[in-house]
Amino acid sequence: MKDARSFLIVALDLPDRAAALEAVRALSGHVGCFKLGLEIFTREGPRLVEEVLGSGECVFLDLKLHDIPNTVAGAVRSACKLQVQMLTLHAAGGREMLEAARQAAAESAVPPLLLAVTALTSLSSKDCAAIGISGSVTAWVEQLASLAYEAGVPGLVASARELPALRSRFGGKMQYVIPGIRSAGAAMQDQSRSVQPGDAILAGADYLVVGRPILRAQDPARAADSIVNEIEKALRSPALSHNS
């Protein structure tokens, strides 16, 4: 059985390098990977990525790339040079962009796991209609996920709400990264469709992304351990039967 800690990714949504490195120090050995997103990357740049990697940790670079194929391929090559373990791009960039990204990653000796973001969970049906999506959000998510699958991008970032549909469509042929995780009784903050860690694992998540419930806890390592405990219980449950 995979170590339960390896399922847990902490979102380092923090203002600066000092805060990020402090969180890495506190959580090292308690979680599987650290997610550096647009906020901290824009401020601290690749040097912080190198520092986190240099301390022996896994880095998920959440840049949500979305541009013409040539530009995205170049950005993927740059991320490969950093040797991050995971990297996001928008499925809505289209098949050619996704294929160019996959090819660029494949040229690397240490390619990151490429993850396609489908529909941002912040978009309501009304927002989707306003940008020209005529069907349901779920149908659009499935369409974007198929595009990623056909282009050879092996992972998806999805909300737990869409996970069962994606799992039944692609089974274990894709990897599923699920944000919006909250343990029972935890503050929701701005997450409105959150699921509990164990439920996300039982629904087929390969990785869970958690930010504030860990970072804002009095004892972040203990908060992470408690989530890992919930993951472990789910992994041992006979109800876990999605490995198709």
Among 85, 175, 191, 196, binds ligand C5P (CB under 6 A): 191
C-alpha torsion angle, residues 169, 172, 173, 175 (rounded to 10): 100
Note whether 121 binds ligand C5P by CB under 6 A.
yes
**Stretches 47-55, 125-133, 204-212, 226-234: which one binds ligand C5P (CB under 6 A)?**
204-212
**Stretches 21-29, 162-170, 211-219, 233-241: which one binds ligand C5P (CB under 6 A)?**
211-219
Alpha-carbon gap, residue 65 to 87, rounded angstroms: 9
Which residues are known catalytic residues?
64
Among 18, 68, 110, 120, binds ligand C5P (CB under 6 A): 120
Q: Could you tell me the smallest distance in angstroms from the CB atom of residue 154 to ligand C5P?
A: 18
Among 60, 211, 224, 234, binds ligand C5P (CB under 6 A): 211
Count how many Cα atoms sit within 13 Å of the Cα of residue 92 in the half-sphere of its side chain: 13
One symbol per residue from 11 to 30: x for binding ligand C5P (CB under 6 A), - otherwise; what is it? x-x-----------------
One symbol per residue from 138 to 177: x for binding ligand C5P (CB under 6 A), - otherwise; what is it? -------------------x-x------------------
Count how many Cα atoms sit within 13 Å of the Cα of residue 218 in the half-sphere of its side chain: 0
Q: Could you tell me the smallest distance in angstroms from the CB atom of residue 36 to ligand C5P?
A: 10
Q: Can you say whether residue 68 is alpha, beta or left, with left for phi > 0 and alpha for psi between -120 and 50 degrees?
A: beta
- For 223, list phi and psi in degrees, rounded to 5: -65, -40
Among 24, 48, 163, 209, binds ligand C5P (CB under 6 A): 209
Note whether 38 binds ligand C5P by CB under 6 A.
no
**Stretches 26-34, 75-83, 210-218, 229-237: which one binds ligand C5P (CB under 6 A)?**
210-218
**DSSP β-ladder status, 86-90 and 113-117:** parallel
Q: How many residues does the chain have?
A: 244
Q: Are 214 and 224 in contact (CB under 8 A)?
A: yes
Beta-strand runs (E) in the chain: 8-11, 33-37, 59-65, 86-90, 113-117, 155-157, 175-178, 207-210
Q: Are 20 and 14 in contact (CB under 8 A)?
A: yes
Q: Name the site residues for ligand C5P (rule: CB under 6 A).
A: 11, 13, 37, 120-121, 157, 159, 179-180, 189, 191, 209-213
